[in-house]
Chain A
Amino acid sequence: MDLLRRWVARQFTTRVIVLMPVAIAINIVLGATIQQALKLPIYLDSIGTILVGVLAGPLAGALTGILANLIWGYLLPAPVGSSTIGPFAITAGVIGLLAGIWGQLGLFRPRRTGAVNVIGAVVAVVLVGALAVYTYARAYASPEAFNNNVSGNSAITIDQSKVFFLVVMLVYVVLVAWAIFLRRNVGAVYAIGAGLVTGIAAAVVSAPIAAVVYGGVTGSGTDALVAAFRAGGDSLYQATLKQGLLSDPMDKMITSFVVFFIIGSLSRRFIARFPNGERALGDEAEAGAPAASES
């Protein structure tokens, strides 16, 4: 019991308490403005959440996400305030929690492009790919197969699941290639892989919320997609899940990518002072590239 209390207290130092409102403000401001500018189902409203999770731990990350949603939904007036984001606080909490775990596992560390790291990266890609294949096969199975809990090739509606899965993996590969060839940083593979897994989890958690509270719609363009799935006979839950599995992984992959580079750009001195900082940084030797200048 005391160990638990100490684990909790360790994650909420004054520095973390100061970082959280900054992260929440970043979530809200970036989320609102980027959504306006790009008009894509890419929200980038979890940057702060994932950043806090990686730097401070799962509990702090989860709370940042939850509070950000609640504040955005219920404490800020329009036009900044969003009337639909509140109930998704649970999803945001899960995102922050996962980010904390990834941070503890060191998945956001910068890594040189050396032999060991590349092999590790390949293994990671395979693992993540396998998880994605399973999830997409289950989700995009025909409605009968989905409801009867049958999985496996015989029940897959081949076209749908393959198309969506390929789209997501394509985005993954593009981001990773950019990181490796232009920035020489294999660590991005792990970070983006973590983002993919986080995105899948987010979609799975959001689907029931969207279905129950909003009847599956959010007032944005993706509703047409949900409607199309519904027309094809999918249940409400399955339709929102399919839509989520398309937009959430992409959004979280890009967000994790961004957080990875933000962490890489901050000075070691700054990061080392956070509860999870040492683990987020790893050894200087492993990082390869010269440490960012002391600020």
Chain B
Amino acid sequence: MAIELSAVRYRYAGASRPALQSVDLRLDPGRVLGVAGANESGKTTLCLVAGGFAPGVVGGRLEGSARIDGAETTSIPAHALALHCGLLFQNPATQLSNTTATVFEEVGFGPCNLGLAVSEVIERVWWALKTVGIEDLAPRDPARLSGGQGQLVALASVLALRPRYLILDEPTSELDPAGTALVGEALARVAAETGAGILLVEHKTEVLARIADEVVVLREGSVALAGPAAAVLADSILAELGVEPPARVALERDVRAAGLDWPAALAEGIG
């Protein structure tokens, strides 16, 4: 039971170069895998391929094997993909269905599409709202929320389908620090309470430092670095790969570079 990418090579329809050159990756349920990398390094493509949306929804050519719980993603019909992997993107506004008047109905959009019984839909909606922590937003108009709230609603809408894996493509990139904090906390809660496997692409390595178990760094469509989060984020090669390390790591590096000690107590305190 995992998402497994083996020797995956992928090219978009109408593109001249492959976006992913050769990627091996594994995401287990209950684990949080962070993905970092410079722009155009293939992070978004990785999300689409891991979730089965590429080539399923966006076309293109996939070589190698991308499997979700043992089944090749190409063999899963498009509408069933959402049941395995919930996908979240950067812009909260474009993830709204634009057909609902309240957050409650918006979160229920997915379960309603599946044709579930009304009682089941209600139960799933409340569960999703509770897990993400936004029950008080239920009566609000989804079009009138802040960016952070919008992303939380998107997260709840996707959770309502009870997927085993969650794939998030830079969910905080368009949010201010308050929104980022909201989403980060919600993700931590989701990871803890639902046992879902989470693939989190993030530019803000702080978020990765907080909740990721392992981190993978991409460069030009292939994996340049992989390993436990703490180790990867402290690796000095990050800057070359176009990734800014978390503030704590940078601070520690500067302190040591100035010849001072980095006392263990401080390390634990900032942690």
Query: Chain A residues in contact with chain B, CB under 8 A?
Result: 14, 21, 267-269, 271-273, 281, 294
B271 within 8 Å of A (CB atoms): no
* CB 8 Å contact bits of B43-62 with A (1 = contact, 0 = none): 00000000000000111000
* CB 8 Å contact bits of B1-30 with A (1 = contact, 0 = none): 000000000001111000000000000000
CA distance A21 to B12 in the complex (A): 26
6 contacts between A and B (CB under 8 A): A14-B78, A269-B14, A271-B14, A272-B13, A272-B59, A273-B13
* CB–CB B59/A273 < 8 A: yes
* CB–CB B58/A294 < 8 A: no
A residues in contact with B57, CB < 8 Å = 14
Among candidates A267, A271, A273, residue contacting B58 with C-beta atoms closer than 8 Å: A273
CA distance A267 to B58 in the complex (A): 14
Q: A interface, by DSSP: helix, strand, loop or mixed?
A: helix
B174 to chain A, nearest CB (A): 17
The interface centre, meaning the residue of B14, B78, B98 with most chain A CB atoms within 10 A of its CB, is B14
Q: How many residues of B contact A (CB 8 A)?
A: 9
Which residues of B229-262 have CB atoms within 8 Å of chain A's CB atoms? none
CA distance A14 to B79 in the complex (A): 10
New contact pairs (5) apart from A267-B14, A271-B14, A273-B58, CB-CB < 8 Å: A21-B98, A268-B14, A269-B15, A272-B13, A273-B13
B52 to chain A, nearest CB (A): 14
Among candidates A14, A269, A271, A281, residue contacting B12 with C-beta atoms closer than 8 Å: A269
Taking CB as reference atom, which chain A residue is nearest B19? A294
Taking CB as reference atom, which chain B residue is nearest A294? B15
Taking CB as reference atom, which chain B residue is nearest A268? B14
CA distance A87 to B223 in the complex (A): 59
A154 to chain B, nearest CB (A): 56
Taking CB as reference atom, which chain B residue is nearest A269? B14
B residues in contact with A269, CB < 8 Å = 12-15
B220 to chain A, nearest CB (A): 15
Among candidates A14, A21, A272, residue contacting B14 with C-beta atoms closer than 8 Å: A272
B residues in contact with A271, CB < 8 Å = 14
A289 to chain B, nearest CB (A): 15
B residues in contact with A267, CB < 8 Å = 14
B residues in contact with A294, CB < 8 Å = 15
